[in-house]
Amino acid sequence: SQQGEEDPQALSIQEGENATMNCSYKTSINNLQWYRQNSGRGLVHLILIRSNEREKHSGRLRVTLDTSKKSSSLLITASRAADTASYFCATDVYSGAGSYQLTFGKGTKLSVIP
């Protein structure tokens, strides 16, 4: 089963508006990562937030993490058409013998209309 679940599944906004995507997960984590994927292409790492951090910024991106609620949000401010992509949250899940695996949600498909 998926560790992370993004919400909403799809989001359509006008250029210049803000976009907010949420992610919920089930088990405790060391860190949570957000990735972007343009259609059919490789994923691009956006931001990593550690379990002891509550908020992190990178350019127009703002990520929050609430470990008590097991949830995270990604805010993209002043969106551009080029932000059109799918966005995934990923959490590290312990897979035994001191190792972890990255588990992805199904993603939020963002469409930014010019």
Partner 1 sequence: DSGVTQTPKHLITATGQRVTLRCSPRSGDLSVYWYQQSLDQGLQFLIQYYNGEERAKGNILERFSAQQFPDLHSELNLSSLELGDSALYFCASSLGLAGLALDEQFFGPGTRLTVL
- Cβ pair 36, 87 in contact under 8 A: yes
What is the longest distance spanned by two Cα atoms in the chain? 49
Rounded Cα gap, residues 4 and 23, in angstroms:
6
x-or-dash string of contact with partner 1, 37-56, rule CB under 8 A: ---xxxxxx--x--------
Task: Specify the residue, 25 or 88, whose C-beta has the smaller distance to partner 1.
Answer: 88
If binding is defined by CB under 8 A, does position 102 make contact with partner 1?
yes
- Mapped onto helix, strand or coil, the DSSP state of residue 113 is strand
If binding is defined by CB under 8 A, does position 72 make contact with partner 1?
no
Task: Specify the residue, 83 or 92, whose C-beta has the smaller distance to partner 1.
Answer: 92
- Cβ pair 45, 58 in contact under 8 A: no
Residues lying near partner 1 in the complex (CB under 8 A) are found at 2, 30-31, 33, 35, 40-45, 48, 88, 92, 95, 98-107
